[in-house]
Chain A
Amino acid sequence: MSNELFRACPESGLQFHKPAELLMRSNAVLAVVILLFGGVMALLVTLTRWPAVHLLPADRFYQMLTLHGVNMLIFWIITFEIALLYFCSSTLLRCRLATPKIAWLGFALMLTGIIVNNAAVLNGDASVMMTSYVPMPANPNFYLGLILFAVGALLGCFVFLGTLVIAKEEKTYEGSIPLVTFGALTACIIAVFTIASGAVILIPTYLWSIGYINNIDAAMYRLVWWALGHSSQQINVAAHVSVWYAIAAIVFGARPLSEKVSRTAFFLYIAFLQLASAHHLLVDPGLSSEWKIFNTSYAMYLAVLASMVHGLTVPGSIEVAQRAKGYTNGLFQWLRKAPWGNPVFSGMFLSLIGFGFIGGISGVVMGTEQINIIIHNTIYVPGHFHATVVIGTTLAFMSLTYFLIPTLFRKQVMLPGLARIQPYLFGGGMMVFTMAMMGAGTLGVQRRHFDMAFTDAVIGFDYPASAYTFMGIVGISGVAAVIGGAIYILVTVLSVFLGKPVGSESSYGFTTSTLMRAEPVAVPDGGHAAAGKWGFAAPGTFLLAIFFLAIFVLYYAVNWKYLASVWPMS
């Protein structure tokens, strides 16, 4: 191992392999560029669905919505995740990255795929939404771009796996891989499954679009496509839960409550998350109720159980660390005294709350076989997944970025005042946005729909005034969140390209030492339960979890009651 290939980060104690560092930087920068592009589309789409503004004409709206979906749900997140995979393997294991050249080939394929796919949509003949449901035809390059991107991402996954092998072989760590790397491995395994499913459906669809296959069955397409479409969001869950654990470790020096529980919960993701394809098929013809019930419940909700476990153990580990530092008064002093002005922490905690309370509960409720009848394809659905993917994943990645700027990019975080408020503006805006969407969806407002007033329809329909109010709130809070997203991009781009190096005398922005506590907290005498109450190591977190469960139960019951009010059907 030659030393000039490695750079130690003195403040964080992390060690970067230089070829890996350049790859992480490139993937992260590309991801942020895509986020900017997708964010512009987000603004245009929001301003069109805001009834009082109704900005774009119909064809532009559907085109921009397609671009927004593909760029945000696939390109932005997966590109950032590739950077994350390299970080969790090469950096956390202090190991050289396997085959950097293959990793660059993957990067080139991903970039090419992004350009090819976006060009097809911009060309105007591929406004088919991210789902591109057959037999609605799209420009063949739409599928080709996705395939190229997927192959590139798959190479990234293999480089990650190869790095794990090298680290074990060269004994760069002792014992087991860190929990965060284990979570990244979970994400990688789900990613391989996802990409394989994508290949199984997108390659035939591409051949169909250029005339080599004459028919793709619509039901089969949906079944296989969603093994790509939903599972790709499960990569995100595994990735952002890993980021939560990482940030708890970075900001608080927190250690997992127990490795066993957290790792088993990740394993449940691998075992069951891929069944989620069924969530999209609950009101499809041709599938039996038995199939729907087993699959939509992730096999008796064992993957939901896993998320509920992470939802306890991440804040629980923070509580234990804070209590060990002396914040032991009452149930919530540990939380009150948390560094709410540190965007690495505040973003992560809002991500956790939003993902659990809004995205998690709504996802389980609408994934109930019968309740889906009153929710399928209404705007409730994007309400749900903006809570999981935007508040959960994107906000977690944003907060991690504030840590990566000084450590990976060696720059101070510029505009610290703006960086401080950014998670609140973005996360808060998205929380209002998602709940307003769910409100509108409950009133039957549709997703992917240009005109809720039905101005040009032969047969019109009037939504109640409250539906318009909800969509107005969607517009306003959506714009607030877009401003929050713009601040993130501004801070990131300014810091990375024009920022002061971390070592320079004038410390204008955040540096590692203000964002991080590098030393792990020591376990107090008598085990970490000693600093808690009732024999619980994290009593405050437990109370929060019970509060979460109460809301969950209540909301679940309300939706069954609503379902019972619609026409009897069998």
Chain B
Amino acid sequence: MSAIQPPAETIWWKQPLDRVEGTWIGIALVWSLFMFFMMPIWHIYGKQNLSNEAYRTTPQAYMAKTQAMVNQYTIRTETAANLPVVRPPPGSDVYLLGRLWQWWPLLELEKGQSYRLHISSMDWQHGFSLQPVNINTQILPGYEMVMTITPDTAGDQTIICNEFCGLGHHNMTGKIYVVEGGQ
């Protein structure tokens, strides 16, 4: 009987497996397990893993920490809006915030150095997308995400918002400059 009719044999679960099905199930199962174990293996041997470090926060508390960093390490301002460009020391905690509709402040980091990058949102959900290196994470209000990044390419990176956040979403951008050490 075909698939739109009841099975011809009432005890259908005793019908032996076809070789074509059995073979394919075996191959597919091995592949599935391989893909599963790839993820923990990459945590051990790979260099690109998102940290599990995150904290609850509030927009006020996070703003205060970011403002303190901006006050201490601003080296210049850019654009007509006088956006601060901040160059924190290598290895330090760097604070970036997303709000309607900008990433603030602009950052200048040294190539080859590691930084603890904190990101949070002041209002709605945002998406942190660093281009052209292509690193993407979700940014939520009330949560402070911390990841250690090591920029290994010099040059300009643009932060683009890639979670829809209202009418100005497509204008929400920011900048990370990566410079050679000592410059």
Q: Which residues of A contact B (CB under 8 A)?
A: 58-59, 62, 92, 128-129, 133-136, 173-180, 217-219, 222, 245-246, 248-250, 253-262, 281-289, 293, 297, 300-302, 304-305, 308-309, 312-313, 316-317, 364, 368-370, 372-378, 442-444, 446-451, 454, 456-461, 463-464, 520, 528-529, 532, 535-539, 541-542, 545-546, 549, 552-553, 556, 560, 563-564, 566-570
Knowing A458-B81, A567-B153 are in contact, say whether A175-B6 is a contact too (CB < 8 A): yes
Contact (Cβ within 8 A) A459 B173: yes
Knowing A133-B125, A218-B142, A304-B32 are in contact, say whether A254-B2 is a contact too (CB < 8 A): yes
Contact (Cβ within 8 A) B3 A255: yes
Contact (Cβ within 8 A) A62 B134: no
Chain B interface secondary structure, helix, strand, loop or mixed?
Answer: mixed
From residue A182, how far is it (CB to closest CB) to chain B in Å?
A: 9
Question: Once the chains are docked, how many angstroms separate the CA of A567 from the CA of B3?
Answer: 51
Contact (Cβ within 8 A) A567 B135: yes
Is residue B74 contacting chain A, with contact meaning CB distance below 8 A? no
Count of A-B contacts judged by CB separation below 8 Å: 319
Contact (Cβ within 8 A) A258 B137: no
Knowing A444-B131, A553-B31, A564-B48 are in contact, say whether A316-B36 is a contact too (CB < 8 A): no
From residue A550, how far is it (CB to closest CB) to chain B in Å?
A: 11
Is residue B67 contacting chain A, with contact meaning CB distance below 8 A? no
Question: Once the chains are docked, how many angstroms separate the CA of A535 from the CA of B25?
Answer: 16
3 A-B pairs closest in CB distance: A301-B32, A249-B2, A285-B54
Contact (Cβ within 8 A) A569 B49: yes
From residue B19, how far is it (CB to closest CB) to chain A in Å?
A: 5
From residue A170, how far is it (CB to closest CB) to chain B in Å?
A: 14
**Which of B17, B28, B81, B124 counts the most A-chain CB atoms under 10 A from its CB?**
B28
Contact (Cβ within 8 A) B144 A259: no
Contact partners of B19 in chain A: CB under 8 A: 529, 535-537
Contact (Cβ within 8 A) A537 B142: no
Is residue B15 contacting chain A, with contact meaning CB distance below 8 A? yes
Contact partners of A286 in chain B: CB under 8 A: 54, 140, 143
Is residue B40 contacting chain A, with contact meaning CB distance below 8 A? yes
Partner of A568 from B48, B134, B175 at Cβ < 8 Å: B48
Question: Once the chains are docked, how many angstroms separate the CA of A174 from the CA of B9?
Answer: 10
From residue A314, how far is it (CB to closest CB) to chain B in Å?
A: 9
Contact partners of A313 in chain B: CB under 8 A: 21
Question: Once the chains are docked, how many angstroms separate the CA of A128 from the CA of B165?
Answer: 8
Question: Once the chains are docked, how many angstroms separate the CA of A179 from the CA of B79?
Answer: 64
Contact partners of A304 in chain B: CB under 8 A: 32, 35
Contact partners of B145 in chain A: CB under 8 A: 285
Contact partners of B64 in chain A: CB under 8 A: none
Contact partners of A259 in chain B: CB under 8 A: 7, 12-13, 15
From residue B21, how far is it (CB to closest CB) to chain A in Å?
A: 5
Partner of B52 from A288, A372, A542 at Cβ < 8 Å: A288
Contact (Cβ within 8 A) A564 B165: no
12 A-B pairs within 8 Å (CB atoms) are namely: A59-B167, A174-B10, A175-B7, A180-B3, A249-B3, A375-B136, A376-B138, A377-B136, A444-B160, A458-B171, A569-B48, A569-B149
Contact (Cβ within 8 A) A569 B28: no
Contact string, B20-36, partner A, CB cutoff 8 A, digits 1/0? 11011101110111011
From residue A133, how far is it (CB to closest CB) to chain B in Å?
A: 5
Contact (Cβ within 8 A) A62 B167: yes
From residue A247, how far is it (CB to closest CB) to chain B in Å?
A: 9
Is residue B65 contacting chain A, with contact meaning CB distance below 8 A? no
Knowing A177-B6, A448-B164 are in contact, say whether A566-B29 is a contact too (CB < 8 A): no
Contact (Cβ within 8 A) A135 B123: yes
From residue B76, how far is it (CB to closest CB) to chain A in Å?
A: 15
Contact (Cβ within 8 A) A260 B17: yes
Contact (Cβ within 8 A) B102 A458: yes
Contact partners of A284 in chain B: CB under 8 A: 137-138, 140
Contact (Cβ within 8 A) A459 B25: no
From residue A355, how far is it (CB to closest CB) to chain B in Å?
A: 16
Knowing A249-B3, A258-B21 are in contact, say whether A454-B162 is a contact too (CB < 8 A): no
From residue A136, how far is it (CB to closest CB) to chain B in Å?
A: 5
Question: Once the chains are docked, how many angstroms separate the CA of A443 from the CA of B133?
Answer: 9
Partner of A459 from B6, B127, B163, B175 at Cβ < 8 Å: B175
Knowing A312-B21, A458-B173, A570-B147 are in contact, say whether A256-B3 is a contact too (CB < 8 A): yes
Contact partners of B140 in chain A: CB under 8 A: 218-219, 222, 284-286
Knowing A136-B125, A257-B20 are in contact, say whether A368-B138 is a contact too (CB < 8 A): no
Contact string, B152-178, partner A, CB cutoff 8 A, digits 1/0? 110000101011111101111111000
Partner of B173 from A136, A253, A256, A454 at Cβ < 8 Å: A454
From residue A538, how far is it (CB to closest CB) to chain B in Å?
A: 5
Contact partners of A58 in chain B: CB under 8 A: 167, 170
